[in-house]
């Protein structure tokens, strides 16, 4: 329901300030630099005035920075996960039930 309200609101008032649900849907893409100029402007303006969304963005930025500092994960567990996913996709993993 809220998504419909946001879409209608954006159509009726395309230059209206962004609201929290709208920002929540775009926040990850915004932080990754993957939004268009209009969304960038709307989200940035909202983060300046909304403490809750600003804190959420700050938390995501801190998590991303910590992940970058930790480096790449060990190759062996990643390979085991990929192998397991390939077996599941191929139907080679027996049911446990």
pTM: 0.60
Residue with tokens 């993993």: 93
Predicted confidence at residue 61, as pLDDT, reads 93
pLDDT in tens, the chain (97 residues): 666 656 656 666 667 688 888 899 999 999 999 999 999 999 999 999 999 999 999 999 999 898 888 887 788 988 998 898 888 888 876 666 5
Nearest to residue 47, comparing CAs of 58, 36, 37?
58
Predicted confidence at residue 14, as pLDDT, reads 64
């Amino acid at each position: 329901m809220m998504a419909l309200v946001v879409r209608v609101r954006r159509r009726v008032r395309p230059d209206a300030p962004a609201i929290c649900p709208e920002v929540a849907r775009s926040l990850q893409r915004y932080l990754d630099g993957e939004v268009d100029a209009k969304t960038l402007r709307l989200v940035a303006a909202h983060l300046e005035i909304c403490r809750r969304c600003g804190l959420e963005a700050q938390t995501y930025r801190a998590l991303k920075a910590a992940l970058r500092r930790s480096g790449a994960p060990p190759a062996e567990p990643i390979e085991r996960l990929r192998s397991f996913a390939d077996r599941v996709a191929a139907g080679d993993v027996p049911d446990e039930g």
